[in-house]
C-alpha cells in the first residue's frame, strides 16, 4: 500500500516499520538540560505505535548538546570538531540512559546503535547493520541510533542525523521516516517571509523544491536545516521510502500532526530493490565516467552502460566500487558498481565490445556497469 497521506504513518498495514528522528533542539533545552517532560510524552507515542503493531527505530540527536553543557564547552560544543567529539562522548551516555529509562517505563527495551557514514557506505557492513536491526526489532527492542560522533572524522561524517535517519530507514527496510523538526514542514519560500505557505505533499525532489529550502539550522543546537532534510527525502525516495517532516515542538507531537495532516510528506516514486536502494543512498563515489548522448539515452531506457559510449574516466576506482555516471553536459545521471577498475575503463572507453577481449587480454564482462547494479537519479 503506497503512502501518500500523513495519517497512514500511524497505520501498521501501510507503515509496519517507522524511523522517528528527534533533533537536538527538541531533546535539549536552551539551558543544556534534557527536556524530560516533553520526551516522556514522545516516548508514550512511541509505545502507542508499538502497541498498534508498528516497529519503531529512533534516531536521536542531542549527544553534543548534552555533553557540551557538562563539559562547559562554548558554542554548544560545536566550536570545533574536537569539541564536538568530546561533547558527544560525554553526552551520548546521558542520552542513551534517558531513552532507556523512559522506554523501560513502558516495558520496552532500548538498544543503542552508534554508526558512522562508513558503516553504511560499505556494502558488507551495511548488510550487517541490516541484520542487527532486524534481530533487535524481532526481539521487541527499540533501537536508538545516533552517529558515532566521537570517532567519525570530518570526511566520514554524516554530519546531520536527517541523512542518517534516511540511510537507517533503507538499511532497516522501513516504510517511512518521520523527522521531528522545529518547523512543521517545507515552505515554498523562507517561512519568515509573508505569504510563505507549507507544501503538504512533494512528489519528487526537483530543483524547484531544492530552491525552496533556505538551509541552516534555525535553532543553532542541531546541524540539520531544510537542505539536509531534502537530501534525506531524496535518499529515502530512491529506496521507495516515504519521508515526513512535522513540527516536533508541541507535547505529544506525532498523533495530532499526522491526523490533522500538518506537515510535509515526500512520497517515494516507487519501491526500489534492496541493492539499488543502498546504491541510491550512498553519499560518496570512488570515481566517475562521462557518457555520450547515445549512451545517456540507452541508460534512460534501462540498458546497461557499455564502454563504447564512455568519453572520460575520473578517479582511481577498483572493480566493484560505486561510481557516478555523468551525461555529456556534466549532470549526474546515475550511480553504479563498476565491472572494471579505472585503468581498464580508460582502456576500453569509446571502443566497441568486439575489441574488448584483445584490449584486456581476457574475456570481457558484458558491460561497464550492468543494469542490475545501476540506479538512475
CB of 154 to ligand GLU, least distance (A): 14
Residue 20 within binding range of ligand GLU, rule CB under 6 A: no
> Binding to ligand GLU (CB under 6 A): which residues in 122-181?
146-147, 149, 160-161
Q: Are residues 286 and 266 in contact, defined by beta-carbon separation less than 8 angstroms?
A: no
CB of 224 to ligand GLU, least distance (A): 5
Q: Which is nearer to ligand GLU, 65 or 369 (CB)?
A: 65
Longest dimension (CA), the chain: 71
Which residues in the 206-265 window bind ligand GLU by CB under 6 A?
222-224
Which residues, listed in sequence order, are joined to residue 374 by a DSSP beta bridge?
336
Question: Are 144 and 82 a contacting pair, CB within 8 Å?
Answer: no
Kindly tell me the burial class for residue 206, based on how many C-beta atoms sit within 10 Å of its own C-beta (0-12, 13-18, 19 or more).
exposed
Which stretch in 5-13, 56-64, 116-124, 266-274 sits in contact with ligand GLU by CB under 6 A? 56-64
Least Cβ distance, residue 24 to ligand GLU (angstroms)? 5
Nearest approach in angstroms of CB 85 to ligand GLU is 10
Query: Phi, psi at residue 333, to the nearest 5°?
Result: -95, -35
Q: Based on CB atoms, which residue is closest to ligand GLU, 17 or 157?
A: 157
Q: Which stretch binds ligand GLU (CB under 6 A): 55-63, 166-174, 263-271, 367-375?
A: 55-63
Interface pick for ligand GLU out of 8, 24, 54, 264 (rule CB under 6 A):
24
Q: Which of 64, 233, 236, 307 binds ligand GLU (CB under 6 A)?
A: 64
Of 60-68, 102-110, 128-136, 174-182, the segment contacting ligand GLU by CB under 6 A is 60-68
- Residue 118: which region, alpha, beta or left (left: phi > 0; alpha: psi -120 to 50)? alpha
Residue from 256, 61, 251 nearest 165 by CA: 61
Report, in Å, the least distance between residue 340 CB and ligand GLU.
37
CB of 167 to ligand GLU, least distance (A): 13
* Contact (Cβ atoms closer than 8 angstroms) between residue 234 and residue 23: no
CB of 86 to ligand GLU, least distance (A): 12
Rounded to whole angstroms, the Cα distance separating 252 from 244 reads 16
| Burial class, 93, CB count within 10 angstroms (exposed 0-12 / middle 13-18 / buried 19+) | middle
- CB 23, min distance to ligand GLU, A: 6
Q: Helical H runs in the chain? A: 24-27, 36-52, 63-71, 81-104, 117-121, 123-138, 161-171, 207-212, 226-238, 253-259, 274-281, 293-300, 342-348, 356-360
Contact residues for ligand GLU (CB under 6 A)? 24, 61-65, 88, 146-147, 149, 160-161, 222-224
Amino acid at each position: 500500500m503506497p503512502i501518500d497521506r500523513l495519517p497512514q504513518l500511524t497505520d501498521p498495514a501501510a507503515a509496519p516499520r517507522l524511523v522517528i528522528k528527534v533533533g537536538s533542539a527538541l531533546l535539549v533545552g536552551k539551558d543544556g538540560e534534557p527536556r524530560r517532560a516533553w520526551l516522556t510524552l514522545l516516548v508514550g507515542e512511541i509505545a502507542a505505535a508499538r502497541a498498534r503493531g508498528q516497529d519503531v527505530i529512533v534516531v536521536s540527536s542531542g549527544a553534543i548538546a548534552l555533553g557540551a553543557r557538562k563539559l562547559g564547552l562554548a558554542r554548544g560544543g560545536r566550536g570545533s570538531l574536537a569539541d564536538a567529539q568530546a561533547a558527544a562522548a560525554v553526552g551520548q551516555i546521558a542520552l542513551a540512559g534517558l531513552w532507556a529509562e523512559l522506554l523501560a517505563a513502558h516495558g520496552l527495551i532500548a538498544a543503542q546503535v552508534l554508526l558512522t557514514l562508513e558503516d553504511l557506505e560499505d556494502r558488507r557492513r551495511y548488510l550487517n547493520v541490516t541484520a542487527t536491526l532486524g534481530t533487535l526489532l524481532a526481539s521487541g527492542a527499540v533501537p536508538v541510533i545516533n552517529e558515532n560522533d566521537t570517532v567519525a572524522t570530518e570526511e566520514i561524517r554524516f554530519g546531520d542525523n536527517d541523512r542518517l535517519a534516511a540511510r537507517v530507514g533503507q538499511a532497516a527496510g522501513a516504510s517511512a521516516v518521520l523527522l521531528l523538526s522545529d518547523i512543521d514542514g517545507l515552505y515554498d519560500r523562507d517561512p519568515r517571509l509573508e505569504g510563505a505557505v507549507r507544501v503538504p505533499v512533494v512528489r519528487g525532489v526537483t530543483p524547484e523544491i531544492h530552491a525552496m529550502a533556505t538551509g541552516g539550522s534555525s535553532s543553532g543546537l542541531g546541524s540539520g536545516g531544510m537542505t539536509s532534510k531534502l537530501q534525506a527525502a531524496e535518499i529515502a525516495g530512491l529506496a521507495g521510502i516515504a519521508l515526513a517532516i512535522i513540527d516536533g515542538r508541541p507535547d505529544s507531537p506525532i498523533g495530532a500532526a499526522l491526523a490533522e495532516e500538518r506537515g510535509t510528506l515526500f512520497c517515494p516514486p516507487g519501491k526500489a530493490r534492496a541493492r539499488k536502494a543502498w546504491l541510491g543512498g550512498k553519499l560518496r563515489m570512488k570515481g566517475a565516467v562521462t557518457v555520450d548522448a547515445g549512451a545517456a539515452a540507452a541508460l534512460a531506457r534501462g540498458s546497461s552502460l557499455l564502454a563504447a559510449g564512455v568519453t572520460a574516466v575520473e578517479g582511481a576506482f577498483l572493480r566493484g566500487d560505486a561510481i557516478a555516471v555523468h551525461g555529456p553536459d556534466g549532470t549526474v545521471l546515475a550511480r553504479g558498481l563498476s565491472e572494471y577498475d579505472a585503468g581498464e575503463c580508460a582502456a576500453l572507453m569509446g571502443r566497441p565490445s568486439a575489441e574488448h577481449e584483445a584490449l584486456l587480454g581476457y574475456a570481457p564482462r558484458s558491460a561497464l556497469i550492468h543494469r542490475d547494479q545501476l540506479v538512475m537519479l
